[in-house]
Amino acid sequence: MAIAVNALLTWTRMANARRAAVVSELMPGGLDDLDQCSQEEIREAIKGFKTLPTVADRFSLSALTTKRIVQLALWVKDRVRLGQPVEFENGTTQVTFTGEIEQAQQREQIRQDRKKTADGLSTLKIDPPLKNSAGWEAWIDAIRAALTIAYGSKGVPLLYAIRERNAPLFDGNNWEELAVNAAPFAGLDWEADRKTVHLFITNNVSEDSRLH
């Protein structure tokens, strides 16, 4: 059984009287709805509560609560991108909840930096390029290293695009390993990532190689 949204909002330090309005605006269908909102859209929606038509209905949320809601949305997006259930299992504590959503924000900051790395893959050259099977091991290690630190359109390390299994596997010692193993081979973001990786690999195979 999953922990109720109302309980999660308690952990964001949101007053009980505010919760119904916040849920109605941001997640009327449940936590999954937060996946459709950008960080800026959430902040703007929260600002909007201060200018509701009826004066008696107006309210504001603290900076900490606003931060927690944004972090929660980022956690939701991570669950959705890996095809995981968007819920906190019964038994989750407030400390665990806070830790998980804070980590989601940290991952988002890393993700934005590493998407810039992905932008440079088209011109990144591995020296030497692959010519024959003799250089395969060193070459594939370099390919894997580059794809590990480059995040693609799906928001996970591009290394997922060359994993051996097509089916997702929810296994890993950390979130990045889990993402590589579990990111689904589906959607426009997958198609974009697959093409990015294909171009990167092709550009690093020697023109003299029979593999080109």
Residues 132 and 91 in one domain: no
Of 80, 106, 132, the last residue of a domain is: 106
Q: Tokens 């937060």 belong to which residue?
A: 34
Same domain membership, residue 22 and residue 101: yes
Predicted confidence (pLDDT) per residue in 71-108, tens digit:
999 999 999 999 999 999 999 999 999 999 999 999 99
Structure tokens belonging to residue 102: 């804070």
Residue 91 within any structural domain of the chain: yes
The domain boundary residue, chosen from 106, 133, 161: 106
Mean pLDDT, the chain, rounded, equals: 93
Same domain, 137 and 175: yes
DSSP labels, 84-121:
--SSPBTT--HHHHHHHHHHHHHHHHHHHHHHHHHHTG
Residue 188 lies in a domain: yes
- The tens digit of pLDDT for each residue in 27-41 reads 999 999 999 999 999
Q: Are 72 and 63 in contact (CB under 8 A)?
A: no
The answer to the question of residue 27 being in a domain is yes
Which tens digits make up the pLDDT trace of 166-201?
999 999 999 999 999 999 999 999 999 999 999 999
Rounded to 5 degrees, φ, ψ at 54 are -90, 120
- Is there a single domain that holds both residue 147 and residue 170? yes
Q: Are residues 148 and 187 in the same domain?
A: yes
Closest Cα partner for 179 from 140, 147, 143?
147
Distance of CA 76 to the CA centre of its chain: 8
Tell me whether residue 212 is in a domain. no
Q: Two tokens at 48?
A: 């909007």
Q: Is the domain of 99 the same as that of 14?
A: yes
**φ, ψ (nearest 5 deg) of residue 151:** -100, 135
The answer on 84 and 10 residing in a single domain is yes
Do residues 195 and 130 both lie within one domain? yes
User: Per the structure, how many domains does the chain have?
Assistant: 2
Q: Give the separation between CA 212 and CA 56, rounded to whole angstroms.
A: 69
pLDDT band at 208 (very low <50, low <70, confident <90, very high): low
Residue of 158, 167, 200 lying closest to 185 (CA atoms): 167
Range of the domain at 96: 5-106
Same domain for 69 and 156, yes or no, is no
Q: Judge if 79 and 125 occupy the same domain.
A: no
The pLDDT of residue 211 is 53
Domain assignment of residue 208, yes or no: no
Phi, psi dihedrals of residue 200, rounded to the nearest 5°: -60, -45
Cis peptide bond prior to 184, omega within 30° of 0 = no
- pLDDT greater at residue 125 or residue 68: 68
- The lowest-confidence range among 10-14, 29-33, 157-161, 207-211 is 207-211
> Which of 53, 72, 106 represents a domain boundary (last residue)?
106
CA 87 to chain centre: 16
